[in-house]
Amino acid sequence: MSILIDKNTRLIVQGITGRDGGFHTVKMKAYGTNIVGGTSPGKAGENVEGIPVFNTVRDAMEETEANTSVIFVPAPFAKDAMMEAADAGVKLIICITEGVPTLDVVEAYRYIKIKGANLIGPNCPGLISPDKSMVGIMPTMIFKQGSTGVISRSGTLTYEVVYNLTSNGMGQSTAVGVGGDPIVGLYYQELLEMFQNDPETDSIALIGEIGGDAEERAAEYIKKHVTKPVAVFIAGQQAPPGKQMGHAGAIISSGSGTAAEKIAAFEAVGVPVAKEPSQIPDLLKSRL
């Protein structure tokens, strides 16, 4: 089983005729993702790899009964794209776009929740349920179907951890890149709950980084609600205070959000923390 996406996912690509949208549409379709349409204002009637293009998400929804959208539009238009998808009735919205202004995300996220939908991203690599569906920019060759759920703030570290899991015979149920911005959609607590309730996920790998307190809150949630084995890696352990490290959300401010604090929070609730990503498989195996 998987969470969020599977073979029943019906995907719309917003920005399908653009450079990035077109490139990744080809990759997603080749993996087997069921892409039922795309949008590009003024280009209705065209097609990309046989996939019909519509002017608006609402037009696409009326014709295709899609349930998921992925956004590849430039940052200045990402807020409108997210809100357009929610307004049209899309239930899962994945925004790949980076550089989206934080206040735009706040406004879009609130509207998405009002509409009863879920958001992943922005500034994320998307998600994959191996051998079922991939929505985003994941390197599919390293993934293998299995029973370990993966949640990560870092795209690159997602790939490193997954490579090590697969190399050690541990496939993945679903891997989700939540994004590295200060404000994003689905985060650790919601995804931990989904994996805890998924009967075919037996363990969880969580990848965090400096900045904010999401990892500390995740540790508290695990203590109270998660019975499955969890192993963690925290990036940015050498980051000095006041320095942003890569992601807009990865900044230590006023002495909070440090790697040491996050590691201590997980260790305090009995969750092992890897010193390097390659240790994740062994930490999980020791608890299964």
Residue 4 lies inside a defined structural domain of this protein: no
Q: For residue 154, is it within any domain?
A: yes
Report whether pLDDT(256) > 60. Answer: no
**Do 95 and 231 fall within a single domain?**
no
Q: Which residue has the higher pLDDT, 249 or 1?
A: 1
* Residue 268 clears pLDDT 90, i.e. is over it: yes
For residue 250, the model assigns a pLDDT of 46
248 in the same domain as 114: no
Number of domains in the chain: 2
Check whether residue 113 and residue 160 sit in a common domain.
no
pLDDT, mean over the chain: 93
Q: Which of the 8 DSSP states describes residue 211?
A: S
Q: What is the mean pLDDT of residues 160-185?
A: 96
Residue 276 falls inside a structural domain: yes
Please name which of 190, 117, 119, 125 lies closest in space to residue 160, comparing C-alpha atoms.
Answer: 125
> Could you tell me which of 251, 269, 162, 169 has the C-alpha nearest to residue 210?
251
Question: Per-residue pLDDT for 238 more than 80?
Answer: no
Residue 236: the pLDDT is: 72
Let me know: does 250 contact 244? Beta carbons within 8 Å: yes
Could you give the residue numbers annotated as active site? 247
pLDDT bin (cut points 50, 70, 90) of residue 1 is confident
**pLDDT for 245:** 54
Nearest CA to 28 out of 94, 90, 99, 123 is that of: 94
Tell whether 132 is covered by a domain: no
Q: Where are the alpha helices (DSSP H) in 115-154?
A: none
Closest residue by Cα to residue 155 from 131, 122, 132, 130: 122
Residues 21 and 99 in one domain: yes
CB-based burial label for 265 (10 Å; 0-12, 13-18, 19+): buried
Q: What is the pLDDT of residues 42-86, one digit of tens each?
A: 999 999 999 999 999 999 999 999 999 999 999 999 999 999 999
207 and 151 part of one domain: yes
31 shares its domain with 81: yes
Q: Is residue 102 part of a domain?
A: yes
Rounded-to-5 percentages of helix, strand, coil across the chain: 35, 25, 40
Q: Kindly give the residue spans of alpha helices, DSSP state H, lying in 52-187.
A: 57-64, 75-88, 102-114, 155-167
CATH code for the domain in which residue 280 is found: 3.40.50.261
Domain that holds residue 208: 139-285
pLDDT of residue 288: 84
Flag whether pLDDT at 249 surpasses 60. Answer: no
Q: Tell me the per-residue pLDDT of 129-154, one tens digit each, with 9 for 90 and over.
A: 999 999 999 999 999 999 999 999 98
